[in-house]
Structure 1
């Protein structure tokens, strides 16, 4: 196998990896967005109910208001600690960044099949994309294992469709 074929194989592997990370970060962003909603909605509801209960004239209103206030405080603390909104935003940004990189690597791979493209032209472009890839990976939050596996499955489906065309 010649050098160009080896570089093409490496380009394909990094193209796939960028796609997996784009999909994995996207799935993680969706999950953290859901956590934000699932914590925020009950928190708001319990806080409103606690306030309404405290203002009511029933004998048990103080107990109900106290319980609802404790639940609202716990949900607020968990939400503050996990910070799901910021996590969702950072994973969504990483997803978009990896998707852009994936498309750049894909275009490099497609252009590399042209016989007129030499190793002297291909190598520096690929090295620059690899540097972007590593910088982006270092700057991005970690993708959970479940999201990485899901991204890998989605990427394989996409690759299968691309090879059929």
Structure 2
């Protein structure tokens, strides 16, 4: 295969698509992680506070109040154990980090390596590797909610994911 400008242009365009996908997927993953972190706090903090208050109520000879608070603590703890919000938050953050790493690798290939260090064969091999990584990441990542994705798209449209150096007005 000869090195044609059309092939490099097609590779650059595909890398741009991958970068865009990674920006949206990564930001949505981070949004999901933030949401699950909030759930973790919303379940955990009241559980800790109510647990302490239930102990105090018990020692003040208020068994009904202690019983109600202990029941609420048990429910919050069971929900936290079942939903595992801390683990989900960590999983989404990890996926978001991986999407950003992949985006960075695609951008470096597109903006630096293609123009000076790659012939078509090596450019295609690099693209194949990045495509494989994206597909594996898409399969391994936890699904995000529609609201996480919409929030991500809105933030990206407002410039949250862009680099200052890439802005026309910078």
Query: What TM-score comes out, normalization by structure 1 length?
Result: 0.88
1:73 aligned to 2:74?
A: yes
Task: Say yes or no: does 1:19 pair with 2:20.
Answer: no
Assess if the C-alpha contact under 8 Å between 1:18 and 1:99 holds in 2: yes
Q: What is the 5 A alignment of 1:1-165?
A: 2-57=6-61, 61-111=62-112, 114=115, 117-156=118-157, 157=159, 158=161, 162-164=166-168
Aligned residues between the structures:
162
Partner-residue secondary structure (3-state), 2:115: coil
Structure 2 residue runs of 5 or longer lacking an equivalent are: none
Residue 159 of structure 1: how far off its partner (Å)? 5.0
Q: Compute the displacement of 1:85 (Å).
A: 0.5
Residue 8 of structure 2 contacts residue 114 of structure 2 at CA under 8 Å; is this kept in 1?
no
Kept in 2, the 8 Å contact 1:8–1:112? The answer is no
TM-score by length of 2: 0.85
Distance across 2 between alignment mates of 1:150 and 1:118? 39
Gaps in structure 1 of 5+ consecutive residues? none
**1:87-130 deviations in Å (ceiling 9; x for gaps):** 01111111111111110011111026627743222111011011
